[in-house]
Amino acid sequence: MGQLPIDDHGFLESNLSKASTFAKLSIPLAFITSALILILPLTALAAPSPAPASAIDPAAAIPISDAAKSRIAALSDDEIFTKRNTEVCEIINVSSYVYCRSGPGTGYSAEYELYGGYTWGFTCYEEGTCVDGNCTWDWNADLGCFVSGYYTSAGCSKANLGLC
């Protein structure tokens, strides 16, 4: 004779009790699954959509002097698409820092502070407010600002940089 199936608690197991337990569990699981399938797409609809990007006027984004605009208009395609060399120059003639400004002059806003003794790359120069007799302002393309030529080392000469 075979042994009777006894569960871990010492009770007699029957296939009928297992089936009814499974049936009891499968109804709530089926309901939960169906509810999730219906609700999840609705949560995607409720998610906020990204705000549209505001229009940016490219002419207002970077201040450019009228002299620079006229020089740009006169350039040929070869001159426009020729890559400029970057001159690496040291910040000199200052014990602390100099301002890197939004335009070629002391009247423009200070964007960054560049400390004396450090080197930076400059690609061209503009004429602007004279500082101790030096009227050039060297353009740092990485930061997008100008430093007075008075505060840059000899490598950032007019001949090396060229007009912006």
Instruction: Please tell me the predicted confidence (pLDDT) of residue 85.
Output: 80
Residue type, 75: L
Arithmetic mean of pLDDT, 86-107: 93
Q: Are 126 and 65 in contact (CB under 8 A)?
A: yes
- H or E element that contains 141: none
Q: Read off the pLDDT band of 13 (50, 70, 90).
A: low
Q: What percent of the chain has pLDDT over 90?
A: 45
pLDDT tens-digit series, residues 15-59: 544 545 555 555 565 666 776 677 666 666 665 655 454 554 555
Torsion sign over Cα 131, 132, 138, 144: negative
> Whole-model pTM?
0.51
